[in-house]
């Protein structure tokens, strides 16, 4: 569960984008071509799902990722910061990414879009569990 809006904004303003640790909020599925689809639930409430079931609506909206996006998505594990993800992408795709700054810009933009669409969150924005005093 994330912290409230003002606290999130304060944390994001103070932190370096490369130090943030992304966490996936949605599931994914592998396609035949080796790339991924992010599975976005079509309905938020279960009663709406039951109402639409007779219409044979699909349960998920599929967001198709390219090779670079699929690899980036798989590197998001809740442990690695964005900087490490950039470094691993540079090693894996040296032909796609010429200068280092291009990788940083591209990954930063990708993470920003994923965060804005609520496909990922950042570990720094998660509520810390309350500690019991003994």
pLDDT (tens digit per residue) in 1-22? 567 778 878 888 888 888 999 9
Total number of domains constituting the chain: 1
Domain membership of residue 58 (yes or no) is yes
Question: Residue 33 above 80 pLDDT?
Answer: yes
Residue 94 counted as domain residue: yes
Closest CA to 89 of 114, 107, 77: 107
Q: What is the DSSP string of 31-96?
A: -TTS-EEEEEES-SSHHHHHHHGGGT--SEEEEE--HHHHHHHHH--SSS-HHHHHHHHHHH-TTT
In a domain, 59, yes or no: yes
Q: In whole numbers, what is the pLDDT of the chain averaged over residues? A: 82
Q: Please tell me whether residue 130 adopts helix, strand or coil conformation.
A: coil
Backbone dihedral region for residue 31 (phi beyond 0: left; psi -120 to 50: alpha; all else: beta): beta
Q: Is residue 85 part of a domain?
A: yes
Tell me, what's the pLDDT at 82? 92
For residue 133, being part of any structural domain is answered with no
Q: Identify whether 134 is part of a domain.
A: no
In a domain, 130, yes or no: no
- Containing structural domain, residue 92: 5-124
82 and 18 Cβ atoms separated by less than 8 Å: yes
Could you tell me if residue 47 is inside a domain? Answer: yes
pTM summary value: 0.80
CB–CB of 76/84 below 8 Å? no
* Residues 125/104, Cβ–Cβ less than 8 Å: no
């Amino acid at each position: 569960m994330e912290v409230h809006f003002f606290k999130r904004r304060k944390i994001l303003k103070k932190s370096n984008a490369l130090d943030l640790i992304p966490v996936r909020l949605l599931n994914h599925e592998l396609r035949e071509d080796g790339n991924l689809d992010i599975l976005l639930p079509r309905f938020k409430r279960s009663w709406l799902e039951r109402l639409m079931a007779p219409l044979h609506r699909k349960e998920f909206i599929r967001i198709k990722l390219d090779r670079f996006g699929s690899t980036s998505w798989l590197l998001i594990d809740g442990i690695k910061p964005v900087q490490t993800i950039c470094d691993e992408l540079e090693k894996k795709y040296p032909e796609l990414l010429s200068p280092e700054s291009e990788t940083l810009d591209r990954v930063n933009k990708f993470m920003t879009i994923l965060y804005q669409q609520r496909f990922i969150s950042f570990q720094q924005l998660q509520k810390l569990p309350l500690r019991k005093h003994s």
